[in-house]
Amino acid sequence: MIFLIFSSCTPDGSYQEENARDSNSKPNLIKAIKPTSPVTSFSLAKKKARDEVYYDNKKTFYCGCDFTPTTTSGASLNPENCGYKPKRNNNRSKRIEWEHVVPAYEIYKNLSCNIDGHPKCVKNGRAFKGRKCCAKVDKWFEHAEADLHNLTPAVGELNGDRSKYRFNEIPGEERNYGSCDFEVKNKIAEPKETLRGDVARIWLYMIDAYNLDIEDEYVEMLKSWHISDPVSNWEIKKDKRIMQIQGNYNPYLY
């Protein structure tokens, strides 16, 4: 695995180029998202993901359920056709939602717009903070939230149940969603083994691209998943499409 020059984005909105991790790196192949990227909002990113990235691979990430585009960025699915059985939320099990593999919370949790709010974050005379505030006033978060490398189509119910939980391994093999190999327990989510590399490479990319503060122990776990589950052809194809839209690759695929 050769890692390449990677320009990383900092919370103040600036970008810095890190030293190459390998002397044989291909210069200028990897670029961070720049403020001029056409993907300027989460709503736009969802539409582009559906129509320009997943247009010929309309399957949910974790369960492999086929979906059919409906609204501006949404899609419907028939859970029974892929063996998915709702755990509790039957309505959300019939639609896809664009999930952040690295939860948005991991991106905005340390930002001042989340902790203290902002003078512009006021609605009907009441101040608010958190994700909505950060999306309104913080350009750095706006671009991170809309990063196509981090967006995957998921069964809506799974997206809701996974919430902001991190991935890790869960003892045993409970099946709470029919034949879909996805588990959520004790604030941990576990994807099937053949997706763990995909998940890890997205996490490692986002950590580098946005200087996320993630514990070394968790990064080491991600690296082990990255090694144990090799890069797939679809990951490469998807990455090249995203490069055409937002101008950067995920270096962990090459």
What is the C-alpha separation between 132 and 137, in angstroms, rounded?
Answer: 9
- Digit-by-digit pLDDT tens for the chain (254 residues) are 333 333 444 444 333 333 323 323 332 334 555 556 778 899 999 999 999 999 999 999 999 999 999 977 789 998 888 999 999 878 899 999 999 999 999 999 999 999 999 999 999 999 999 999 999 999 999 999 999 999 999 999 999 999 999 999 999 888 999 999 999 999 999 999 999 999 999 999 999 999 999 999 999 999 999 999 999 999 999 999 999 999 899 999 99
Looking at residue 199, its pLDDT comes to 98
Question: Rounded to an integer, what distance in angstroms lies between the CA atom of residue 141 and that of residue 132?
Answer: 10
Q: Which two tokens stand for residue 51?
A: 């129509």
Q: What is the pLDDT of residue 18?
A: 36
pTM of the predicted model as reported, rounded to 2 decimal places: 0.87
Q: In this predicted structure, what is the pLDDT of residue 33? A: 53
Task: Please report the DSSP string for 37-78 in residue order.
Answer: -S--SHHHHHHHIIIIISTT--B-TTT--BEEE-SSS-EEE-
pLDDT at 173: 84
Strand pairing of 166-167 and 188-191?
Answer: parallel
Beta strands in the chain (DSSP E): 7-9, 15-17, 67-69, 75-77, 96-100, 122-123, 126-127, 151-155, 166-167, 182-185, 188-191
Any idea where the domains of the chain sit in the sequence? Answer: 7-253
